[in-house]
Amino acid sequence: MRFKRQQHESRTPELNLVPMLDVLMTVLTFFIIVSMTLTLEQGVNIDLPSKDNVALPEDAPEPLVIVLNAQGQMVVKDQPVSSDQLKPLLQTYLKANPKGSAVLQADQQLPYEQVIQLLTDMKAVGGDRVSITIDQ
C-alpha cells in the first residue's frame, strides 16, 4: 500500500486583531479619563486663619483699611482714592506707623484677577505688612 503524500499548502496564519484593539481602546480610555481628572483639579491650597487665634500686638496701630467695592473703586477712610493716589498714601501710612499694616477688603463679587492685581501692587509698596481680609 502506497500512501499518497498529501501536499500541505503553506498558508500564512491569520491574526485576529479584535482582542488587541480592545486592549488598546481600554488603555486609551484609561489615559483620557486620568488626564481629564488631573486637569480639573486646579487651584491654590491655602489655610485661612480663624478669628479665634488672631493675636494683635497691643501697641499696634489701627490698620489702614483699603476697601475695593463692587464697582471696582478703592475707598480709604470713606474717601474714594485712585490707583495713582494709593501708592503715596500707603507709603505715608507705613512710614508714619512702623508697626502698622494695610488691609485690603475686597467685595466678593469682584473678579479674582482684579483683587490679586491690587494686592500685588500693595505688596510692592508694603511687603509683608499688607494682607487681605477673609470676612467682611
Per-residue pLDDT of the chain (136 residues; tens, 9 = 90+): 566 666 666 778 888 889 999 999 999 999 999 888 877 655 666 666 666 656 656 677 888 999 999 888 999 988 999 988 989 999 999 899 888 888 999 888 888 888 888 888 888 888 888 888 876 5
Domain 64-132: state its class: alpha beta
The domain spans of the chain are 64-132
Q: Are 64 and 93 in contact (CB under 8 A)?
A: yes
Q: Could you tell me the pTM of the whole model?
A: 0.56
The SS3 of residue 135 is coil
| Residues composing the chain | 136
